[in-house]
Amino acid sequence: MIPYGHQSIDESDIAAVVEVLRSDYLTQGPVIERFEAALCDVTGAKYAVAVASGTAALHAAAHVAGLGPGDLVVTSPLSFAASANAARYVGADVAFVDIDPATLNVDLEQVPRSVDGLIAVHYAGLPVDLAALESAGRRPRIVIEDAAHAIGAVTPDGLVGNCAHSDLCCFSFHPVKTVTTGEGGAITTNSAKLADALRRFRHHGIERDVGDPAWRYDIGELGWNYRLTDIAAALGASQLERLDAFLKAREAIADRYRAAFKDDERVLLPPSPPHGTRHGLHLFPIRVGHRDEIYEHLRGAGIGVQVHYVPTYRFSSFSAAAEPYSAFPETERAFSTLLSLPMYVNLSLPEQRSVIDELRCALDSQTLS
């Protein structure tokens, strides 16, 4: 089976992990700070705080931003449920805003002026134009970027993660992402206060006073065990050294898909990044008619395509907050046609040709039926 996503691990990654395994610290050691410093380098943010997962990053960001009961947070329904759950974890209400059909990102013009927070998802790795929201004078009190798909992406205001138009930015390092730590995540911010709060939150809310005995500490607030291990951080730091190479490899794969289907009216290709923007290319989601039949054809041929995503409001756990599906026409239209093609660094040319050939075969079978 050719999967839709897969990690790329080389000998330098293995050596970095082995070095930690032979060291004195497997967690809460010096490699965490090294990884966080590398994240600052590749995002342009002043601070980075590593945590156990992308979901933990979103939870921590919502908490330290002060979102909570009585607040309304909006996000895109075309994302993994963690984007919306971040608001619910802190007791805030969540609502959804329909997507822009051109970008598949949240339609910023539909973001109500009255909301307290926005979790802006950079779908597939294409950055949301948060500058437009700010220039229109419609920025919510709190803006959190969900950049789980977008490490290395660039906007006209610089690297995603520099928080040029947000308070915090969250990343995921799951194995299908461009950079992996196995499981892991991180939050970037330019606020020293928020960074300190994030560090406490990931470590049970523990606070220590300079000058006190090493054993003395206080727990001044509710916190969680959201720490990332040094083992995972070592892998992440090693991977970040190849981030640009990873992105170039993904861009080459995307270019080949585009060349193969640019004249095929049966395939709607994902949007290209506008001038001054670099796509993170976590996913390569096309849109096709007869999506379910084509999905089954490709799966039967050993091509591990996927659907990203079932709109969050369709899940039963969101039924109390969800509006009728008809309230999100563009999301529904996209959902019925979306299909993510394999996109990962080690996808070989023969494998990609197989994907292209089988997709053409699937399209032809539907055209003739």
Residue 134, domain CATH: 3.40.640.10
Residue 12 corresponds to which tokens in the numbers above? 């330098």
Domain shared by 155 and 204, yes or no: yes
Q: For 287-307, how does the pLDDT look when each residue is reduced to its tens digit (9 = 90+)?
A: 999 999 999 999 999 999 999
Mean pLDDT of the chain: 96
**Does 105 reside within a domain?**
yes
Domain that holds residue 291: 243-368
**Which residue, of 240, 259, 278, is where some domain finishes?**
240
Residue 326 corresponds to which tokens in the numbers above? 């008809």
Residue type, 97: V
Confidence of residue 320 (pLDDT cuts 50, 70, 90): low
pLDDT computed for residue 245 by the predictor: 98
**Does 131 reside within a domain?**
yes
Residue 349, domain CATH: 3.90.1150.10
**Cα Rg, the chain, nearest whole Å:** 21
pLDDT computed for residue 369 by the predictor: 59
Domain shared by 46 and 86, yes or no: yes
Q: For 67-103, how does the pLDDT look when each residue is reduced to its tens digit (9 = 90+)?
A: 999 999 999 999 999 999 999 999 999 999 999 999 9
Domain shared by 81 and 179, yes or no: yes
Q: What angle do CA 170, 172, 175 make, to 5 degrees?
A: 170
CB 121 within 8 A of CB 282: no
CB atoms closer than 10 angstroms to residue 64: 24
CB 263 within 8 A of CB 327: no
With 90 as the cut, is the pLDDT of residue 323 above it? no
Domain shared by 119 and 222, yes or no: yes
Least confident of 51-60, 141-150, 310-319: 310-319
Residues 254, 260: Cα–Cα separation, whole Å: 10
pLDDT computed for residue 295 by the predictor: 98
Domain shared by 301 and 255, yes or no: yes
For 266-285, give the DSSP string.
TEEPPPPPPTT-B---S-EE
pLDDT computed for residue 137 by the predictor: 87
Domain shared by 212 and 249, yes or no: no
Residue 252 corresponds to which tokens in the numbers above? 């080459």
**Does 217 reside within a domain?**
yes
Domain shared by 216 and 253, yes or no: no
Domain shared by 217 and 362, yes or no: no
Phi, psi at residue 30, to the nearest 5°? -70, -20
**Does 122 reside within a domain?**
yes
For 311-357, give the DSSP string.
-GGGSGGGTTTPPPGGG-HHHHHHHTTEEEEP--TT--HHHHHHHHH
Does the pTM exceed 0.95? Answer: yes
Q: How many domains does the chain have?
A: 2
pLDDT computed for residue 322 by the predictor: 67
Domain shared by 344 and 227, yes or no: no
**Which residue, of 188, 216, 240, is where some domain finishes?**
240
**Does 208 reside within a domain?**
yes
**Does 277 reside within a domain?**
yes
**Does 273 reside within a domain?**
yes
**Does 201 reside within a domain?**
yes
With 90 as the cut, is the pLDDT of residue 343 above it? yes
Domain shared by 163 and 252, yes or no: no
Place of tokens 């006209």: 156
Domain shared by 174 and 316, yes or no: no
Q: For 14-66, how does the pLDDT look when each residue is reduced to its tens digit (9 = 90+)?
A: 999 999 999 999 999 999 999 999 999 999 999 999 999 999 999 999 999 99
Domain shared by 193 and 262, yes or no: no
For 64-97, give the DSSP string.
HTT--TT-EEEE-SSS-THHHHHHHHTT-EEEE-
CB atoms closer than 10 angstroms to residue 217: 15
Closest CA to 171 of 60, 247, 78, 279: 60
Q: For 187-227, how does the pLDDT look when each residue is reduced to its tens digit (9 = 90+)?
A: 999 999 999 999 999 999 998 887 788 889 999 889 999 99
Over residues 153-173, the mean pLDDT reads 98
